[in-house]
Amino acid sequence: REGRKPPMVHVRQSLYSLLEPKKKKGNVVPREDLIQALWDTEEFIDENTLTVNVARLRQRLKQIGVEELISTRKGVGYLIMEP
């Protein structure tokens, strides 16, 4: 276990890595795409799980002085904004 990241840290890092490339195109990443990419499982994943992880990622970004980087497109998904 030494050197392995806790699952939620991995999810937040993966979430950012999925959103970041879309920044150049200004594309919204659909919630369903993020859920499928982050939790590659046949089990039901509540959409609130994604919402909570996005909120945690936003908190982490705020701690390093990066605010309002992730924009929510209600009912659609998320978008990385220009800093």
The model's pLDDT over 24-60, given as tens digits with 9 standing for 90+, comes to 567 888 998 888 888 877 788 888 999 998 999 899 8
Per DSSP, 23 falls in state G
pLDDT given at position 37: 84
CA 58, 52, 45, 8 dihedral sign is positive
If pLDDT is split at 50, 70 and 90, which confidence band does 5 have? very low
| pTM: predicted TM-score of the whole model, two decimal places | 0.72
pLDDT given at position 79: 87
